[in-house]
Amino acid sequence: MSSASIQIALSGMLAYSRGLDVISNNVANLNTPGFKQSDIRFQDVFYTLTRQGSSGGHDDFVQGGGVTAAATSMRFTPGEIRDSGSDTDVAVNGNGLFLVRDGDQTLYTRAGRFAFDEAGFLVSTVSGGRVAAIERGGNLRDFELGELRISPARATSRIEVVDNLSSGSSEHEISNVEIFDSVGDTHTVSLVFRNNSSVTPRSWLVTVKNEAGEESAQAGEVRFSGDGSPLAGFEKTTFTFQPENGDAFEVTIALGAPGRFDGATSFSAGSTSTLQLASQDGVAAGSILGLAFNENGRLQIRYSNGDEATGPWLALAHFETPELLRQVGDGFFENRDGLAERIGAPDEGMLGWIVGGSLEVSNVELTEQFTELIIVQRGFQASSQVLSISNEILQELIESTRSRR
């Protein structure tokens, strides 16, 4: 008897121990976002042929050399998508990986654990690398808020009024109207409508009072048609407001569309008018109140001043054989072998769409891993038993040889 059986048994124990390493790593990363499980590939090794006859054939003796853990293969099936509680976390439902760039290095990941840093760049909370955005022309750039970090103040340019300005009243005042200047400061004015029908039928002259109750501007004239709706050409008028410490700006007072009755009207209602402020379009500067990614991967921003804005698109990369990417840890993959990639926006072509506020968890199936664990354990134990028996037989042969001397 040779020592071949011992070597073969040792190869089995070594191969199965490596299988146990792979299973252990899979189980350990059961709750790791974006993790992709690996499968080990066992392979038989070299054979020797012993000729039993002159011409060979069925009498030949073929001796195997054991087994080896030839390689591991990554299983790139998607994991379950779960809510993460963070508005800047994102998951891909379908094909595609996020691109995270750090200098000249580009890494890929399914784990969208992202946040904005102090400079306004969207970065990986794991590596600190910057997440890539894609422009309409297909160019990549760093995903950043830029000017979207604040919503700038906007001076009031239009005031809309509604309800009835009674043709029977001589004067009506809308007080405590707040307007904004270009730096976002508020000013309180009053709009005064004086009946001018004695000069021009259904005509009203408009003046503006400042915070002190003093008339500060003449806004001109508005008129109504005989049916009580705003008259075309006179449905709005403009005044210039001059802040004490700021630039002057123009504001239009709008009654509504001519011929319609959903804005201001002028019906006879005695001396009682109900005309009031409907809206004004000025705002103070606003900070970010909330962020969210839509299914197309575009950032949606809400500000404290009520404004909304849209940001860049997330970039995704698609590989025909993503399982050939190399795992480098922290949920990242490298394209070391130069695999062909296609880069685009979410929900474009073969690329999946985005689920905001969520993360893709590991694709490890625990039941399957336990099954594999049992198989590996039995294989290791069997190889160990073969080793033990081979050792005993070899020992008996050695003892037998000594006893013959």
Digit-coded pLDDT (tens) for 130-139? 999 999 888 9
Pairing of strands 353-356, 341-344: unpaired
Handedness of CA 244, 247, 253, 256 (dihedral sign): negative
pLDDT > 70: percent of the chain: 94
Rounded to an integer, what distance in angstroms lies between the CA atom of residue 396 and that of residue 92? Answer: 63
* 284-301 as b/e: b if 16+ CB within 10 A: bbbebeebebeeebbbeb
pLDDT > 90: percent of the chain: 72
Q: What is the pLDDT of residue 8?
A: 82
Task: Determine the distance from the C-alpha atom of residue 162 to the mean position of all C-alpha atoms in its chain, rounded to a whole number.
Answer: 42
Average pLDDT estimate for 280-300: 96
Q: What is the pLDDT of residue 91?
A: 97
Q: What is the pLDDT of residue 55?
A: 56
**What are the structural domains, with CATH classification, of the chain?**
4-76+364-404 (no CATH), 92-147+308-360 (no CATH), 158-280 (2.60.98.20)
Please state which of the ranges 160-169, 243-252, 288-297 shows the lowest mean pLDDT: 243-252
Alpha carbon distance, N-terminus to C-terminus of the chain: 19
Average pLDDT estimate for 14-18: 87
Q: Which residue has the tokens 């690329």?
A: 351
Q: What is the SS3 assignment for 371?
A: helix
| The two structure tokens encoding residue 304 | 């404290």
Which of 316, 315, 327 minimizes the C-alpha distance to 362? Answer: 327
> Could you read off the pLDDT of 17-76 as tens digits, one per residue?
898 999 999 999 999 999 999 998 888 876 666 666 555 556 666 677 778 877 888 999
CB 194 within 8 A of CB 237: no
- The amino acid occupying position 328 is V
Average pLDDT estimate for 346-366: 94
| The two structure tokens encoding residue 370 | 């336990």
